[in-house]
């Protein structure tokens, strides 16, 4: 699997790590980027990002996907919190390199996809708050470039093992529902707590 795109992102992510560490968490880290697609389905109009489609026969994972995704999110978040976005992308790159050697699709490879999705979606939201000229001056990719490169990597990842669009949609849904809450609570604990307190106050009105 080609992970060269991650090398450039990792090289630029030192700046991103500073930005993310200093900022609040995205209002919705799952907004603003295309959904993971398998090569069989490349049209954005064909996607149903928030409603998991039934998986094709024989595609049901043999592992607990929720527990696996939560674990992958926690490992990535703790590394990001301690060492920044560059270290997080290096983890994703090494994950792809290692697990893409397997003959069959497995839990480890799915963790790579989930971590790529988590990290890139977060950076997309951080970068989307900045003017394009500021991004250009810093030499970092635009949110659109990040989204496109992630979409290509994830599409290739699912396609390498012939996974269907329905399976890809379901993984995305699980990461949104179970991975992001874990990731954001560790990377942005103060801001997440502030948001939760605000929501509690609003419910009491």
Mean pLDDT of 134-158: 90
Sign, Cα dihedral of 195, 51, 33, 102: positive
Residue-number span of the structural domain to which 18 is assigned = 4-37+64-204
pLDDT tens string 60-75: 999 999 999 999 999 9
Alpha-carbon span 158 to 168, nearest angstrom: 7
Tell me if 52 is assigned to some domain: no
- Write out the two tokens for 191: 């801001």
Domain count, the chain: 1
Residue 43 maps to a domain: no
Per residue in 97-115, pLDDT (tens digit) is 999 999 999 999 999 999 9
Q: Is the pLDDT of residue 54 over 60?
A: no
The answer to the question of residue 18 being in a domain is yes
In a domain, 45, yes or no: no
Could you tell me if residue 55 is inside a domain? no
Lowest mean pLDDT among 33-37, 43-47, 99-103: 43-47
Please report which confidence band the pLDDT of residue 95 belongs to, taking 50, 70 and 90 as the band edges.
Answer: very high
Alpha-carbon separation of residue 177 from 69, 78, 160 (angstroms):
10, 19, 25
Residue 56 lies in a domain: no
**Does residue 51 lie within any of the structural domains?**
no
Does a structural domain hold residue 57?
A: no
């Amino acid at each position: 699997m080609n992970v060269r795109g991650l090398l450039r992102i990792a090289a630029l992510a030192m700046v991103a790590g500073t930005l993310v560490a200093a900022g609040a968490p995205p209002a919705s880290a799952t907004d603003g980027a295309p959904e993971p697609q398998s090569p069989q389905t490349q049209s954005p109009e064909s996607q149903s990002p928030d409603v998991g489609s039934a998986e094709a026969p024989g595609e049901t994972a043999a592992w607990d996907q929720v527990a696996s995704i939560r674990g992958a999110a926690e490992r990535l978040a703790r590394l990001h919190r301690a060492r920044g976005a560059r270290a997080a992308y290096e983890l994703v790159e090494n994950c792809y390199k290692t697990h893409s050697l397997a003959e069959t699709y497995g839990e480890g490879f799915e963790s790579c996809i989930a971590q790529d999705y988590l990290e890139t979606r977060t950076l997309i939201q951080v970068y989307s708050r900045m003017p394009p000229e500021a991004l250009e001056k810093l030499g970092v990719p635009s949110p659109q470039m990040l989204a496109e490169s992630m979409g290509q990597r994830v599409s290739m990842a699912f396609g390498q093992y012939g996974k269907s669009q329905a399976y890809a949609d379901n993984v995305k849904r699980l990461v949104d529902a179970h991975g992001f809450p874990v990731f954001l609570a560790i990377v942005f604990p103060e801001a997440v707590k502030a948001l939760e307190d605000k929501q509690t106050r609003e419910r009491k009105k």
